[in-house]
Every structure is written in structure tokens, then in C-alpha cells.
Amino acid sequence: MVNAALLLICVATSALAVVHRPSKTAQALVQHRVKTLQSERLVNVGMMFVNKNDCWRHIPVAMTQLAAQVYKVNQSNPGAGLNVKDQKGYGTVMKDGFYEVACVKDYMYNHGDAAGANKHEYEIGSRSNVSIVHYSMMVPKEDREAMSHEVCFNFCRTVPDMLFFGLTAGRECYCEPYFKPMAGDSSACDAVCEGTPTTMCGGMAKSSVFQMHFCNTMGEDLAAAAEKAESFLKDATPIGEAAMGDAEALQSAAQAGQDAFGKAGDTVMSDLMQSAKVFAGEFQHKVEDATKIGSKLDEEVSEANGKFDFTDPASMKKAEDTMKNMEETLAKLEAAKEEGMDLHELARGTEYSKDGELKEAEGEPLKQYKPTMYFVDKEFDSVPSTCGGETLKKPMLASDAQDCAAACDSEGNACAGFSYVNVADAKDKVCFLFSKFKSVTYYTECKSEKSFLQKDGEDAKTMCYAKFASFTGTTLKPDPSGKCDLCLKTADKAQRCFE
């Protein structure tokens, strides 16, 4: 067993191996992890090489006849080394990654070899009963590969109890339970690896030492992925519920408006209401799709929170597949959430705050607007009206006319005004923004408040509003000559009401 002094050395050297992954945004991290899980290759994450897909697999270990006969370290006593009899020619992958920790003259390479070329200089048997393991001794010549970091790692990660591997002279690979620096010269690790000439495999007198990363972090990774997914679901669920509620409300209000103005013969507003229904349907379908993805993610989180045996290859594979599926579903849900929120902002004519809440209209922006009839015929500027023209953005659900005014203000000079619709049979109100007015229909027979009011106040009327600053000093009255660019094409007097 490793004695206390050597254990301290192992701990100290291990402490040198701490690496930090670069920070990433949530979306970039998901994409990175999904790509990693989809790849069977060894990948580079910062200074650390990781391949979790091989964990706990059994892979062939071709050994020389000499190694099979004489390399019997630890068959009778516990310690670090390869138990040939128990392994039966196979190794179990116990490490999923590695990173470089030192360039040193390694005491273990010279004095920790119990069965190799330096066995006559073996000094630590009486104290720790461990030995390094040489690649060249274990693998027949015809099966050896040109040496590289990955080749040495793929060999050493199957050897029990080994925490580090060393490379020296550009071609020699050995595994060790710990490394111990010793006095050396000023030379560097500048020997080119035979297998990858762009990297270094130690030097002529020193070793490049790498620490290996254990596979037992899969449980932690799976738990972290599940926690992240749960947190996202917790934040996204109320947003989705609010979005679905508004999509349904817009659909209902648009249907009520289409029924009312269809009966009143207002084809322009009836067509606008149809466009609102189409948009509400599109919005609703997107939210429904996101909800389905969220339900799938919730199921995968429940599966991830189940029990896995991380020493069993089949259970390990299931855990990996669960984490892969969960991260892929989370990435899809993030995209669906963003798309849904974009449509929700259009449907409400505002933006989300950093707290995940839709911003409300501030102040009284409606004061900057006048009924369109004010610029056509002031005698009828207080009667309900609707308008048509070139629409801006999408039909929106509004709490009141102030919301419509705030939405129009946010578009600057591009928005000429809006049509606010409040019908008796609809619980909610609909608003249409315009970049240019072409027509207005004003209703002179809406004498009952019930016909066009949902609450007290003049701003509750169904009304077409124009931005005062854009039309002050001008007229919107239709001009038969066609010379007036701002003038309406038509201004229809409806001696009826839309109810």
C-alpha cells in the first residue's frame, strides 16, 4: 500500500492538475455538450481530453508472452499494477480523460519499475508495493501504435489503480499510480511524439506527465444536467402558460370581432380580425409545440433522477443516453422558448423584462393621439370608428387603448396610428398598428354604451387613433383629386352600429 509520505506526494501532485473549463453562455454550453455526446471521438475541452462514451467498456489488451509470464505484480498482495490472471487479457476502461500536469525527471520511471528494464533499480517495493507499467512491455511489437498522448492514455486508462501516465523520449509510454519529481538538468520536454509530430512526448531526460480523469463523474454530470433542465422548466413553465393564455384570448377576441363587424358589413375590419385569428393560431401552435417538448424534457428529468449503476456497462450506457437525450431536448426547448417569447412580444406589443415579465405601458401615451375623425370631420371625432390601411407588425392583444398607444410609440415615426377594437361579446381587446391609413368607417348609431364600451371612459371606445404630431395642421379627409398623399381613400359613414 502507498505509505503516508508517498500519499502526500500523490495528493500534492494531483493538486497541480486542476483545470478550469472556459465559461460559456447557456446556449453555447448546450450546443457544445450535445456535439460532444454525438461524437465518438476524443475531444479537446480546454487542456483536458474527454471521451465518456468508452467508460466501463471491456477492450482487448494484447500482451507479449514475456509480460503474461513474468508480469505478476500484485497478484498476491494489494497494490497498483495489472493483475494478469483476473484481467484475462482484457482491460476495463476506467478513465474518460486526461490533462498534462508536469514536465519532470520522474523518480518512478527510474526507480518504480518492478518488472521492466529498470527492475534492478526498483526501490519502492518495501514501502508502497506499486509499480509502473510499460506500454512496450505489455503490447507485442506488431500491435504497437506510433506513440502519442492518446495512444498512451488509451493503454493506461485500462490499468487498475493508475492515476497518471508518462511519456519520454518521444516514444516511451508508462502508467503510474503517482509521480515523483527528482533532481534533473535544465532540459525540456521537447521530444516530438512519433504519432503526432505537432505535440511533445517528454524529452531525452524528462517525462511529460499526465493525470487521468475517472469515469465516476457520470453520476455528477447526469445530476447537474437534470438540475439545469429542472431549473429551466421551472422558469419556462409560467412563461408558457401565460403565452398560451394570451394566444387563446387573442383568438377568442378576434373571433368575436369578426362576427360583430361581419354582421355590420365592415369588411375591412372583418378581414383584419381574420388576420388576427391566423396569427393567434400560429402563436398558439408554437406554444403547444414548446409545451410538448417541455413535457418530454420533464419525463427525461424523471428518468435521470432514477437509479443507475455506474459500474455496469449497460446501466452506464443508459445513463449516457439519458443525459444526451435530455441535453438535446433542452436545446430544442430553449429554441422553442425563444421563438414563443418573440411571438408573445408581438402579440402583446411589448418586450420581456430581464425578470421574464412582459413590460407594461407607462404613463398615458394615449394623450399623444387623436381619433382619426378629428383630422377628417371633427363633428364625428367622438363616435366609434375603425380604420384600414398598411398594417405594421402583428395584430395584438391589448388591456386598453394605452397599450396600443405605447406599442405605436415604440415604432417611432413608422407608426402613423392604430385601430383599437373593444366589442361587447369579447372579454379582451384587439389592436392593429398602421404605417399608413387608407380608410375609416365611423359608426353614428352606437348610442348604447353596451354596444361599444367595456369599461367607463372615452378611451374604452372602439376607435381609430392617429398620432397627433404626425398629422397636426393637416387633414385626412379624402381628396378626389388624389394629390393629397396623407389623405384617406375613403371615409365611410355607417348609420348603424357593429352590434
Give the mean model confidence (pLDDT) for residues 190-215. 91
CA-to-CA distance for 349 and 347, rounded, in angstroms?
6
Between 299 and 451, residue with greater pLDDT:
299
Between 3 and 154, residue with greater pLDDT:
154
Cell 512491455 sits at which residue? 137
404-436 pLDDT per residue, tens? 999 999 999 999 999 999 998 778 999 999 999
How many of the other CB atoms lie within 10 Å of CB of 221? 15
Between 453 and 444, residue with greater pLDDT:
444
pLDDT surpasses 60 at 25: no
115-165 pLDDT per residue, tens? 777 788 888 766 667 888 899 888 888 889 999 999 998 888 777 778 899
Helix (H, G, I), strand (E, B) or coil at 208: strand
Between 2 and 266, residue with greater pLDDT:
266
Between 194 and 213, residue with greater pLDDT:
194
384-403 pLDDT per residue, tens? 999 999 999 999 999 999 99
- Please tell me the predicted confidence (pLDDT) of residue 315: 79
Give the mean model confidence (pLDDT) for residues 438-462. 70
Helices and strands (H, E) in the chain, number of each type: 14, 16
- Please tell me the predicted confidence (pLDDT) of residue 31: 53
- Please tell me the predicted confidence (pLDDT) of residue 50: 54
What are residue 287's phi and psi, to 5 degrees? Answer: -65, -40
- Please tell me the predicted confidence (pLDDT) of residue 242: 95
CA-to-CA distance for 104 and 184, rounded, in angstroms?
8
How much of the chain is in helix, strand and coil states, percent to nearest 5?
45, 20, 35
CA-to-CA distance for 447 and 496, rounded, in angstroms?
10
- Please tell me the predicted confidence (pLDDT) of residue 470: 92
Chain Cα centroid distance, residue 167: 38
CA-to-CA distance for 443 and 385, rounded, in angstroms?
6
pLDDT surpasses 70 at 53: no
- Please tell me the predicted confidence (pLDDT) of residue 105: 94
Give the mean model confidence (pLDDT) for residues 170-191. 91
Between 72 and 488, residue with greater pLDDT:
488
- Please tell me the predicted confidence (pLDDT) of residue 89: 37
250-302 pLDDT per residue, tens? 999 999 999 999 999 999 999 999 999 999 999 999 999 999 999 999 999 99
Between 57 and 427, residue with greater pLDDT:
427
pLDDT surpasses 70 at 342: yes
Per the prediction, the chain carries an average pLDDT of 81
Whole-model pTM: value is: 0.62
- Please tell me the predicted confidence (pLDDT) of residue 443: 96
Under 8 Å between Cβ of 249 and 234: no
Grid cell of 71 as nine digits: 508480469
Grid cell of 250 as nine digits: 387573442
CA-to-CA distance for 285 and 280, rounded, in angstroms?
9
Grid cell of 169 as nine digits: 523520449
